[in-house]
């Protein structure tokens, strides 16, 4: 489905001749689908990493699934002044190094927030109401032979603690309010414009929540922010949902707590060592496990393409990028 | 409720069974008899049975009511009363109660949960993740839920609760009802086909009556179409099940989230192989909190009746 732009494609220069097209040159550092390729080819001259001209290109399209933007990469492409990232997270980008070198970094703004928030709510409802597990029960013929499936838990009225109230966390909170959940949050700073309760310490947040939702960016500060103490504070009736980054949670500790009933259940779209999922999780019935899916819908992909193009066009006309990465 | 005979039609919540016993009721467990013997069981115990606790699978049909001359009240452990012969109860002066409101939130929650589950294919993604297939390749794209047009058949308590939740996902709301309701933000359609033609997700949230049987028929399924999703948290007979199965298998309908079926616990096996279908075993009110609240309503209604006080949630 995805491939690097081909050397034999007519639009991509294969030698160090000057390109005949006067579309601005764009370095593509991640594989692309045909939908992407046709949209980008209409506006830019695409270069792949193996092109000899790649080191002279000023703008590049990147993705956390394929790239680490570190000093080595920035040295490899020393002419870069603009990076546009297609995914939701930016933990793979050394933002200080980019700033130091005068490289603007853009992501895709709030495009991913809706899908990720929908998925977080979907995972939560699945865990509370046992949707995946009872679907499996039905398909295995057990409703006929064993009778009713065990009862689930009501979502309404439950206390939800959101770790990271950025664009995604806010979208999750807005949705869960309609289910009559009581929302509290942790963020680097309190947000005076929101009506939710701010709890500055993550153990306190966990202690006062029935459900913990991890929706923060992965940084040095948030690495393993959900650790043993937090999981103990969340407690035996607690549920945890992670649609951020696997490394925000101490995964071996999480697995141990789930296996031993020290927390009640989890919905996980991300893991510390994707695509590997701990074997012990696979054996549990109180978890829902999905393969880092939360952003991937065609609707979002279409929007992502448009926003990336808009960012590059702004850059090439000397304007600042439209959706710069904002550290909140 | 000392020594009052109560026919319990289904295996009850343990809390309900304990409470009925604690209050002195004599329980007659209908579900323990084979189906062919059930009327006989009723007749054998008819001198004692003054109340029925029914549910969505077995309420009180005409034959059962006829077999119980001392029956005074049917307290259904459900909000739907399609399995209770209401005209017969009215004729005999038998009271009928149900469990409205306490389950509205859970049912609406499940409707949304099923919708996201179907559109984002969560059960299928979970299976993919557990199988190790993720190591070999990425899962496919799935369909966004936010912003999609949600059409609701029936804008009662449950329909409104579904609408409120869907609005938080920026979904435009439309509905069909016997008559237009005072909700200017929601678009009214005067026929189910018009509703189905103008929404992406069709949710069945009306009561099952003679008029609404097969309200989702072939024409409505066709109008919903190959990108449309049907969510049924009503009753199996709301939908023409063979037509639904054919449409899903043939790709004429985009997907379905089903909590109810024509002949529970039997689910058409042709659906088992489909990734765009989520099948759950009639669990819309199946949380410990809500089932306890439903039990409290059943107990409250029974107690009120036998103490000659006003019933809490009488329908007849």
Q: Which of A143, A264, A301, A302 to mutate to test the interface with B (most CBs of B within 10 A)?
A: A143
In chain B, residues with a C-beta closer than 8 Å to the C-beta of A297 are 120, 141-144
The answer for residues whose C-beta is within 8 angstroms of residue A208's C-beta and 6 or more apart is A159, A161, A184, A199
Q: Select the residue from B255, B271, B286 to test the A interface by mutation, using most A Cβ atoms within 10 A.
A: B286
Long-range contacts of B183-189 (CB under 8 A, 24+ apart): B183/B155, B186/B155, B189/B151
- Using one digit for the tens of pLDDT, what is the confidence trace for A251-308? 999 999 999 999 999 999 999 999 999 999 999 999 999 999 999 999 999 999 999 9
Residue tagged active-site, from A274, A280, A285, A299: A274
- Which ranges of chain A does DSSP label H, i.e. alpha helix? 34-41, 71-76, 95-100, 111-129, 131-139, 142-146, 167-177, 202-207, 228-234, 251-259, 279-282, 298-316
Nearest CA in chain A to B279: A135
pLDDT at A14 over 80: no
Q: What phi and psi, each to the nearest 5 degrees, are found at residue B305?
A: -60, -50
Q: Report how far residue A203's alpha carbon sits from residue A226's, in angstroms, rounded to the nearest whole number.
A: 9
- Residues in Cβ contact with A179 at an 8 Å cutoff, skipping those fewer than 6 apart: A121, A155, A156, B105, B109, B112, B165
Nearest chain A Cα distance for residue B208, angstroms: 22
A10, pLDDT greater than 50: no
Q: Are the beta carbons of A129 and B116 separated by less than 8 Å?
A: no
Q: How far apart are CA A270 and CA A60, in angstroms?
A: 26
| Residue of B167, B168, B280 with shortest CB distance to A134 | B280
List, for residues A216-255, the tens digit of each pLDDT value. 999 999 999 999 999 999 999 999 999 999 999 999 999 9
Closest residue to A151, CB basis, from B122, B143, B286 = B286
CA distance A197 to A176: 14
Report the alpha-carbon angle A214-A215-A221, nearest 5. 80
* Residue range A26-73, pLDDT digits in tens: 999 999 999 999 999 999 999 999 999 999 999 999 999 899 999 999
CA distance B86 to B64: 13
Does residue B291 surpass a pLDDT of 60? yes
Tokens of B245: 């199965």
| Nearest to A165, CA basis, from A157, A174, A156 | A174
Q: What pairs with residue B60 in β-bridges?
A: B84
Beta strand A197-198 with A104-106 is unpaired
A245: annotated active-site residue? yes
Each residue of A125-173: pLDDT tens digit?
Answer: 999 999 999 999 999 999 999 999 999 999 999 999 999 999 999 999 9
Tokens of A266: 């989890």
All residues of chain A having their beta carbon less than 8 Å from the beta carbon of residue B272 are 139
Packed helices A167-177 and A111-129: angle between N→C axes, nearest 10 degrees: 50
pLDDT average, residue stretch B86-114: 98
Mean pLDDT on B127-153? 94
Tell me how crowded residue A72 is: count the other CB atoms within 10 A of its CB.
Answer: 8
CA A96 to chain CA centroid, Å, is: 21
Question: Taking the CA of residue B267 as centre, how many other CA atoms within 13 Å lie in the half-sphere pointing to its CB?
Answer: 27
The pTM score is 0.93
| Confidence at residue B1, expressed as pLDDT on a 0 to 100 scale | 87
Average pLDDT value for chain B: 97
**Do the strands A197-198 and A182-186 form a parallel or antiparallel pair, or are they unpaired?**
parallel
* Among the listed residues B131, B134, B175, B173, the one whose alpha carbon sits nearest the alpha carbon of residue B156: B175
Give the pLDDT score at A2: 58
Alpha-carbon distances of B177 from A28, A110, A162, B111, B222, rounded to whole Å: 53, 36, 38, 18, 20
* Position B293 confidence tier, pLDDT thresholds 50, 70, 90: very high
- Is the confidence at residue B269, as pLDDT, over 70? yes
For A224, phi then psi, to 5°, come to 50, 35
| Chain A residues within 8 A of B114 when measuring between CB atoms | 131
Chain A residue with CA closest to B13: the answer is: A151
* Residue of chain A nearest B115, judged by CA positions: A122
Is the pLDDT at A113 greater than 50, yes or no? yes
**Among all chains, which residue has been given the structure tokens 């046709």?**
A38
Contacts of B105 in chain A (CB under 8 A): 154-156, 179-180
Minimum distance, in Å, between the CA of residue A156 and any CA atom of chain B: 7
d(C-alpha A157, C-alpha A180), whole Å: 5
């Amino acid at each position: 489905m995805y491939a690097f732009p081909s050397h034999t494609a007519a639009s991509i220069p294969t030698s160090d001749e000057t390109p005949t097209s006067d579309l601005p040159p764009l370095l593509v550092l991640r594989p692309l689908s045909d939908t992407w390729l046709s949209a980008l080819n209409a506006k830019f001259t695409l270069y792949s990493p193996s092109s000899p001209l790649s080191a002279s290109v000023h703008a590049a399209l990147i993705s956390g699934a394929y790239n680490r933007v570190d000093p080595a990469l920035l040295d490899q492409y020393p002419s870069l002044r603009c990076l546009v990232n297609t995914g939701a997270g930016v933990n793979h980008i050394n933002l200080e190094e980019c700033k130091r070198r005068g490289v603007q970094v853009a992501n895709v703004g709030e495009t991913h927030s809706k899908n990720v928030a929908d998925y977080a709510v979907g995972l939560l409802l699945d865990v509370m109401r046992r949707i995946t597990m009872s679907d499996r029960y039905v398909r295995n013929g057990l409703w006929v032979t064993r009778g009713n499936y065990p009862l689930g838990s009501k979502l309404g009225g439950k206390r939800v603690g959101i770790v990271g109230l950025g664009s995604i966390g806010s979208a999750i909170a807005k949705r869960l309010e309609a289910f009559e959940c009581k929302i509290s949050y942790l963020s680097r700073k309190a947000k005076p414009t929101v009506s939710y309760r701010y709890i500055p310490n993550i153990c306190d947040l966990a202690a006062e929540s029935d459900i913990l939702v991890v929706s923060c960016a992965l940084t040095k500060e948030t690495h393993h922010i959900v650790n043993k103490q937090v999981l103990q504070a969340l407690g035996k009736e607690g549920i945890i949902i992670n649609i951020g980054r696997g490394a925000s949670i101490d995964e071996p500790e999480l697995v141990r707590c789930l296996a031993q009933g020290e927390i009640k259940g989890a919905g996980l779209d991300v893991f510390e060592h994707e695509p590997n999922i701990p074997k012990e999780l696979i054996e549990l019935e109180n978890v829902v496990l999905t393969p880092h899916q939360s952003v991937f819908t065609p609707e979002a992909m279409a929007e992502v393409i448009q926003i990336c193009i808009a960012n590059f066009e702004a850059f090439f006309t000397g304007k600042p990028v439209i959706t710069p990465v904002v550290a909140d | 409720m000392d020594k009052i005979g109560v026919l319990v039609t289904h295996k009850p919540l343990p809390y309900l069974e304990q409470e009925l016993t604690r209050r002195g009721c004599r329980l007659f467990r209908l579900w323990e008899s084979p189906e062919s013997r059930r009327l006989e069981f009723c007749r054998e115990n008819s001198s004692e049975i003054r109340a029925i606790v029914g549910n969505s699978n077995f309420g009180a049909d005409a034959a059962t009511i006829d077999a119980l001359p001392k029956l005074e009240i049917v307290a259904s452990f459900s909000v739907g009363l399609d399995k209770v012969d209401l005209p017969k109860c009215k004729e005999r002066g038998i009271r009928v109660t149900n469990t409205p409101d306490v389950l509205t939130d859970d049912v609406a929650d499940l409707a949304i949960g099923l919708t996201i589950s179907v559109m984002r294919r969560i059960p299928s993604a979970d299976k993919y993740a557990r199988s190790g297939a993720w190591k070999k390749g990425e899962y496919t794209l799935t369909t966004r839920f936010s912003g999609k047009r949600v059409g609701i058949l029936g804008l009662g308590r449950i329909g409104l609760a579904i609408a409120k939740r869907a609005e938080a996902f920026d979904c435009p709301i439309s509905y069909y009802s016997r008559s237009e309701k005072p909700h200017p933000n929601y678009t009214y359609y005067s026929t189910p086909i018009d509703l189905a033609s103008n929404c992406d997700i069709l949710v069945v949230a009306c009561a099952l009556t003679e008029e609404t049987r097969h309200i989702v028929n072939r024409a409505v399924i066709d109008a919903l179409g190959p990108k449309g999703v049907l969510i049924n948290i009503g009753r199996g007979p709301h939908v023409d099940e063979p037509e639904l199965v054919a449409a899903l298998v043939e790709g004429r309908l985009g997907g379905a989230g089903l909590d109810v079926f024509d002949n529970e616990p039997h689910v058409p096996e042709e659906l088992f192989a489909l990734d765009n279908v989520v099948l759950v075993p009639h669990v819309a009110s199946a949380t410990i909190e809500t089932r306890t609240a439903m039990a409290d309503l059943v107990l409250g209604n029974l107690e009120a009746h036998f103490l000659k006080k006003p019933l809490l949630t009488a329908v007849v």
